[in-house]
Structure 1
Amino acid sequence: MNLKDIKSQFPIFKSNKNLIYFDTANSAQKPIQVINALDDFYKNHYANIGRAVYGLAARATANYDNTRETIKEFVNGSDGEIIFTKNSTESLNLVAHCFGKFLKEGDEIILTEAEHHSNYVPWHFLRKKKVNIKFIPINEEGEVQVDQLTSLITNKTKMISIIHVSNVTGLTTNVKKVISIARAKKIPVCIDGTQAVTHSHVDLKELDCDFYAFSAHKIYGPTGVGILFMKNKWVEQFEPFNGGGGMIQNVDTKNITYASGVSKFEAGSLASAEVIALKHAIKFVKDIKIKNIVSHEQSLATYALDKISKFNDIEFVGRPSDKGSVFSFNIKGVHAHDASTVFDEDDIAVRAGHHCCQILHKKLKIGSSLRVSFGVYNNKQDIDALCESIKKCKKIFKLK
């Protein structure tokens, strides 16, 4: 698939002809294949899945289950270890809630100072049980100091939960080293892979983590679907996160027997159309090939950082040496929200704020920042336009 013509596959750029979209880390735009798959299912194939035996429902269920197989192949997972949730946030809440039942007062969880709130707040809830949370620090470049992990581990450390790729700085955490250290201590590892799956090659068998979470809408798929990889040992040990239809085997007035396997975590009517459309998003990514996406986005990041660095009043939020296709910055003397408003006048969509990473921003002594994140539809002309908009912003705020 030719990336030069890729923008034509995204209808939003036809209806918004001047749009330059730099907010893929928030949510990716959707290719026509995914939109058509949603439309086709609702028009021609809709039935609730996992409930009925008539043909329409059976075919919908088979199509839904086929997406699970597609995901397993995409991230090299194993049978019976892929759970569908609403998003990465729900996936991480599920892990924290279910694992939290094993914890007692004084037990410890280790996170990093670069965590998205989705991988901090669920663990924070466990402080009600007087569970302690420790943080692997980041340095002034925004890099997670993995070398300090060993010194944080004690015999009370029960879980290490870390971000794979930062949604603020683009930092890629050395998760292989973290997992190696944890394995030697027999400590389970949970990884928030929300920003990693579309922008790097993820092989779950190679990583050998216990949990891995990501979201469909970040990989050009629909909203409302999260994917949680959970090793079979935890699938067997965890009790259900939600109760209702679909997650039971037998119910009477005195007792309930739960469904086996991942089904016990998928209660109620599920986002069937969205899950089925996700299969088409994964095919879209596979057709381009992850290596080509990585090469394209890294080229854009290098070009953008070089051009923006030439302005004498730019402050970057960290400069990690191992980074993905995301970076954040500020224009000295201009609030991030004001700059974003100026960019928006030029049809450039750049997120401003703390990006659900207040701990990182506070550690780096920054209130908010502008974030640029790339997708397959971005090109160097988009970056040139952003630089012109930075010049316009400087002029408006009378910066030299």
Structure 2
Amino acid sequence: MLDVARIKQDFPIFQNNPNLVYLDSAATTQKPRQVINAVREFYENYCSNVHRGIYRLSERATEEFMGAREKVARFIGAEENEIVFTRNATESLNLLAYTLSRSLSPGDEILLTVMEHHSNIVPWQLVSGGRFRIRYVDIDGHGLLDMEDLKSKLNRRTKVVSVTHVSNVLGTINDLQEISKMAHENGSVFIVDGAQGVPHMPVDVSRIDCDFMAFSGHKMLGPNGSGVLYGKYEMLRSLPPFLGGGEMIQTVSTEQSTFLDPPLRFEAGTPDVEAAIGLGAAVDYLERIGMANVREHERGLMRYVLEREGDLGLASLVSYGPRDVERRGGVYTFNLGEIPPLDSGKEIALGKAIHPHDVASSLDRHNVAVRSGHHCAMPLIHRLGLVAASRASFYIYNDRSDVDALFEAIERAMEVYG
């Protein structure tokens, strides 16, 4: 297990809020002093635009910006020219949906899964316009992806397969190498939403053999507004620009423009320089800890979560996702009682269930911060027969005392509402 007490000393928010039990890292992580200082250093000592300034401040900013790209590439086993900086995984997936869809024909299909985050659903719906069909792979009774269903839905019309690495609701870890093999044998482009994977375990895109991967820096200790799109270089070169403007052009005339090679082709306008630099500092921090250690730490925490859940013995406490900690990440989604879908015609029996928003509010009174709602995964929530759920998510600054605090707060909520 990690030395959590030592790690927490690097995070000002825990020094300023010593009683805080933060269990919402799947939404965004807290930031260590090393990241905050990197951003502050940029603003205080070499704030300037990048790439074309012929003066010392700009040259240093460019060097640090490109250095961050190199760090991110190394972190996931990619080449530097395969890393595009974006605002977040959502922008990365929108970029892919808008550019890849230009080559799709009527009758083509996009294959997603029912466990996708909205950021890997809505962009495809927006660009479809009825030209192509979006299909969804189901889950089984254990919250695992139904691989037979995936196999049955792959066909000659399937042009893109886009899958989350780790479900932000169930915690399910998908077998990316197997899915990659199936997609490529079918002649499909394979995309991974790595937002919940890259921050939590070792990821090597060359071993996965994905064509593209999207992830967010703010979920891995980096600043908000930092995101990444990885793409195999030849695949990136085949894509048209997503946005147009400065920085991404080679020539511009009144009649037409030509564009730079990737990754700059996809980084129109002034980039979020400080966010990229902060993300580079976050990569440094995580590499010092070791991603294998991060994964082992979360695996141990989830094992303890499931033990505490069993010891509690609350019949009304229902949780979702695989019970095998080897198949799930550091996410614990639960309800206290049956919370049926809004359109089910059922009424929530008073005294039999606590709405997830009330659960989160009650836990907050005990300094335990969790998320509640549909978690930007409404198709999955509805597939589970729910309208909402509460979610605790763990990271490097959590330990067993936080798990204990969670279940103690759940017991108090049951006393108040039950």
Aligned-residue sequence identity (percent) comes to 38
Q: Deviations over 1:274-332 (max 9, x none)?
A: 11111111111011111111111111111112112332211112335310111200011
TM-score, normalised by the number of residues in structure 2: 0.93
Is 2:343 the partner of 1:323?
no
Q: What code does the residue aligned with 2:404 have?
A: D
Name structure 2 gaps, 5 residues minimum.
338-352
Map 1:144-159 onto structure 2 (within 5 A): 144-159=145-160
Alpha-carbon contact 2:155-2:186 (below 8 Å) kept = no
Q: What code does the residue aligned with 1:56 have?
A: L
SS in 2 for 1:387: helix
Map 1:11-22 onto structure 2 (within 5 A): 11-22=12-23
Distance 1:232 1:146 in 2: 29
SS in 2 for 1:9: coil
Distance 2:14 2:256 in 1: 54
Partner of 2:403: 383
Partner of 2:171: 170
- Give the number of aligned pairs: 398
Distance 2:180 2:55 in 1: 46
Partner of 2:127: 126
Partner of 1:291: 292
Is 2:48 the partner of 1:47?
yes
Is 2:341 the partner of 1:340?
no
Distance 1:94 1:346 in 2: 41
Q: What code does the residue aligned with 1:353 have?
A: G
Partner of 1:312: 315
Map 1:203-222 onto structure 2 (within 5 A): 203-222=204-223
Q: What code does the residue aligned with 1:143 have?
A: L
SS in 2 for 1:340: helix
Is 2:382 the partner of 1:362?
yes
Q: What code does the residue aligned with 1:213 have?
A: A
Distance 1:250 1:234 in 2: 22
Distance 1:75 1:235 in 2: 17
Q: What code does the residue aligned with 2:60 have?
A: R
Alpha-carbon contact 2:93-2:214 (below 8 Å) kept = yes
Alpha-carbon contact 1:143-1:320 (below 8 Å) kept = no
Alpha-carbon contact 2:144-2:172 (below 8 Å) kept = yes
SS in 1 for 2:9: helix
Alpha-carbon contact 1:85-1:91 (below 8 Å) kept = yes
Map 1:256-267 onto structure 2 (within 5 A): 256-267=257-268
Distance 1:28 1:390 in 2: 23
Partner of 1:396: 416
Partner of 2:347: none
Measured after TM superposition, the shift of residue 334 of structure 1 is 0.6
TM-score, normalised by the number of residues in structure 1: 0.97
SS in 1 for 2:354: coil
Q: Deviations over 1:1-58 (max 9, x none)?
A: 8434211110001111211000000000000000011111100111111231112101
Name structure 1 gaps, 5 residues minimum.
none
Spell out structure 1 runs of 4+ moving beyond 4 A.
Answer: none
Q: What code does the residue aligned with 1:210 have?
A: D
Distance 1:385 1:191 in 2: 34
Q: What code does the residue aligned with 2:52 have?
A: R
Alpha-carbon contact 1:140-1:364 (below 8 Å) kept = no
SS in 1 for 2:43: helix
Distance 1:377 1:25 in 2: 13
Distance 1:118 1:94 in 2: 11
Distance 1:129 1:234 in 2: 25
Q: Deviations over 1:229-251 (max 9, x none)?
A: 01112221111100111010111
Partner of 1:105: 106
Greater Cα offset, 35-44 or 122-131: 122-131
Map 1:5-154 onto structure 2 (within 5 A): 5-154=6-155
Distance 2:36 2:215 in 1: 20
Alpha-carbon contact 1:104-1:129 (below 8 Å) kept = no
Measured after TM superposition, the shift of residue 129 of structure 1 is 4.1
